[in-house]
Chain A
Amino acid sequence: MTYSVRSATVRFGSAMALDDVTVEVPAGSVVAVVGGDGAGKSTLLRTLAGEVSPDHGTVQAPPRQRLGYLPASAGSWAALTVTQNIDFVAGIYGLAGDELAARRAELLDRAGLTSAAGRLAAQLSGGMRRKLGFIMAIAHRPDLLILDEPSTGVDPVSRIDLWRLASEAAASGAAVLMSTTYLDEAERAAHLVVLDRGRVLVQGSYDQVRAGFAGALTQADQPVRAEWCWRRGRVLHEYWPLGDPSAGTTIAPDLEDIVIALSLARRNAVPS
């Protein structure tokens, strides 16, 4: 089973939030959407979740009760305990009694939250709260799991827990679509989609994205063309779309470089 958003265009008033975007999410794999604030990540996720109707294009998603969705906001109720939060949401999906108790214990254990079960959500750290939101989204074993920035502001150690939970969900057959601002996380996904101002800048596996990168990247202390440069630590990287560097040492780009280079190519070609 593959869920999808095809040729989707979404307008909010005069603002174009998504512009002809196609993304497929096959069962059993993790698809990562990267981009900054305003790139269209949340709109794409909400379109697949059925929270936003596209102006054009089609959406293929499971029925609502087979969908799990962690919104970018809290995703839990601050005044309820961890256990109450899980029981409330799982109850909506019909889990009760021993089945609920067993599922709750299993999820708390996998998320490392067992000792926090009686705590109010308001008293959890940011990382713990995102993990709680995650297990609430997954409690009913959805076919499609949509996670909106589960790891933003979460420390690297808790981010690893979140990735383990997401990969376990995929390994047990769910289709997982998650957004992130961390490029190293996107590398980890089977398929990554880079969004920029509502459009797909590039998508594919990490290897495909790297192989498809056209042009050359150089490293130097002094830029030749300031509008094609960005800083990486103490040195500058410069992008040559036609692959004809006139100065600097040619280097292999990482995903961060590729995303910046493609964003620059779009900015420098299309004045906003």
Chain B
Amino acid sequence: MTGVLLRAAHVTRRFGAFTAVDDVSMGVHPGEVVGLLGANGAGKTTLIRMLLGLIAVTSGRVELLGGPPDRERRRRLGYVPQGLGLYGDLTVRENLSFSARAYGTAEPALPPELTGQADVLVRKLPLGAQRQVAFLAALAHAPDVLVLDEPTSGVDALARAALWDTIRAQAERGTGVLVTTHYMQEAQQCDRLLLMSEGRLVAEGSEADIIGSTTAVAVRTGDWARAFAALAAAGAPVMLAGRAIRVANADPAELAEALRAAGIEASLQPVPATIEERMLMLSRQARAS
């Protein structure tokens, strides 16, 4: 499979007077994992729903596997929505059998962790196991394109690593993967990132491309809570990375002055920015324009 698997060209979607997605162009190629980032309400889910043919575009064009996202092409797609898309009142086996028949494929074998749960109602399973079932249902027909909306929200670190193993294995066999996440460590596992803010695609590329020349100032102090409050009150775009206070795109001299005025002792050091900081900067700019 070559070419672009999933493509949006100047896609816009309005709901009444509200523009949810504004002139977005993007693509997903075979074998790559593309991360779609953005704040709640940035337009990520609306964009995905258009790419999948679940809602119509207002203007522009979407292509799935080289054509419109019709039923025939959607058979070659695997999709795990945020709500997982399972039937809670059906058992694990019934869910898998239903989705296998819808895609015209064989019912997948259960992994060892789920073999004892075949006849359990899905709503009675813990969330982590439900996620596993949703992945199995989405992958049984060996899709060419895989779309995952916050696939690991709420699962533990070990289960998250296992789900990423599955995602990577799919990419290695040529599937193109589009994944949304709020988890920055997860964004770092993607080959390429797309960053949306207020409906627009505001940055694209590797982590380094997105961060670009943005820098930050790390503030080291014994009392991070007070320093954080003082800097936020001074209007600085304050972030936390672990316990370190960081301020993106700031002038160290101005920060030092704000801290001195609040009577807080701290040392300031310029550092490279993180994706989260770049997101905060871009969303502030998008909101201001």
Residue numbers of A with Cβ under 8 A of B are 35-39, 125-127, 149, 152-160, 163-164, 167-168, 170-171, 181-184, 187-188, 196, 206, 230-234, 256, 259-260, 263-264, 267
Residues of B within 8 A of A231 (CB): 161, 164-165, 168, 189
A160 B155 Cβ-Cβ under 8 A? no
| Known contacts A184-B242, A231-B164: A36-B155 contact under CB 8 Å | yes
**In whole angstroms, what is the CA distance A196 to B162 when docked?**
16
| A195 CA to B142 CA, complexed, in Å | 35
How many angstroms from the CA of A188 to the CA of B238 in the assembled complex?
14
- 8 Å CB contact of B40 from A127, A149, A181, A233: A127
Within the assembled complex, what's the spacing in Å between the Cα atoms of A206 and B153? 23
The reply to whether A37 and B157 contact each other, CB–CB distance below 8 Å, is no
Q: Given known contacts A155-B182, A188-B240, is B156 in contact with A181 (CB within 8 Å)?
A: yes
Cβ B242 vs Cβ A36 within 8 A: no
A sample of 17 cross-chain residue pairs with beta-carbon separation below 8 angstroms, ordered by A number, consists of: A36-B154, A36-B158, A127-B39, A153-B40, A153-B154, A154-B40, A155-B38, A155-B40, A157-B283, A158-B40, A184-B185, A188-B243, A231-B189, A233-B188, A234-B168, A260-B157, A267-B158
A143 to chain B, nearest CB (A): 17
A119 CB to closest chain B CB, in angstroms? 13
- Minimal Cβ-Cβ distance residue in B for A186: B242
Residues of B within 8 A of A127 (CB): 39-40
B165–A154 CB distance below 8 A: no
Q: Which residues does chain B contribute within 8 Å of A167, judged by CB atoms?
A: 224-225, 228-229
- Asked if A187 and B243 make an inter-chain contact with CB atoms under 8 angstroms apart, the answer reads yes
Q: For residue B242, which residue of chain A has the nearest CB?
A: A187
Which A residue sits closest to B159, measured CB to CB?
A36
**Which B positions have Cβ atoms within 8 angstroms of A?**
38-42, 126-128, 150, 153-162, 164-165, 168, 182-185, 188-189, 224-226, 228-229, 232, 238-243, 276, 279-280, 283
For the complex formed, measure the closest distance between the CB of A235 and the CB atoms of chain B, giving whole angstroms: 10
Closest chain A residue, CB of each to CB of B44: A155
Q: How far is the CB of B42 from chain A (nearest CB, A)?
A: 8
**Smallest beta-carbon distance B125→chain A, Å:** 10
In the complex, are the beta carbons of A264 and B158 less than 8 A apart?
yes
Which residues does chain A contribute within 8 Å of B280, judged by CB atoms? 156-157, 160
Write the chain A residue with the least CB distance to B38.
A155
Cβ contacts under 8 Å, B164 to chain A: 231
Nearest-neighbour CB distance to chain A for B264, whole angstroms, equals 12
* A residues less than 8 Å from B157 (CB atoms): 36, 183, 256, 259-260, 263
Cβ of B40 to closest chain A Cβ, rounded Å: 4
- Given A36-B159, A170-B225; 10 other pairs, CB 8 A cutoff: A35-B156, A37-B155, A38-B126, A153-B150, A156-B184, A157-B280, A164-B228, A184-B241, A188-B240, A260-B158
Q: Is the CB of B182 within 8 A of A164?
A: no
Q: Which of B182, B229, B238, B279 has the most CB of A within 10 A?
A: B182
Please tell me which one of the listed residues B41, B182, B240 contacts residue A163 in the complex, with CB atoms under 8 A apart. Answer: B240
What residue of chain B has the Cβ atom nearest to residue A169's Cβ? B225
A156 touches B182 (CB 8 A): yes
Per a CB cutoff under 8 Å, which of A156, A206, A259 touches B279? A156
Residues of A within 8 Å of B279, CB to CB, are 156-157
Pair B238/A160 contact, Cβ less than 8 Å: yes
Interface contact A152-B156, CB-CB below 8 Å: no
Q: When the two chains form their complex, are residues B183 and A182 in contact, meaning their CB atoms are under 8 A apart?
A: yes
A233 to B35 alpha-carbon distance, docked (Å): 12
**By CB atoms of chain B within 10 A, which of A37, A125, A153 has the most?**
A37
Chain A residues near B39: list those with CB within 8 A. Answer: 127, 155-158
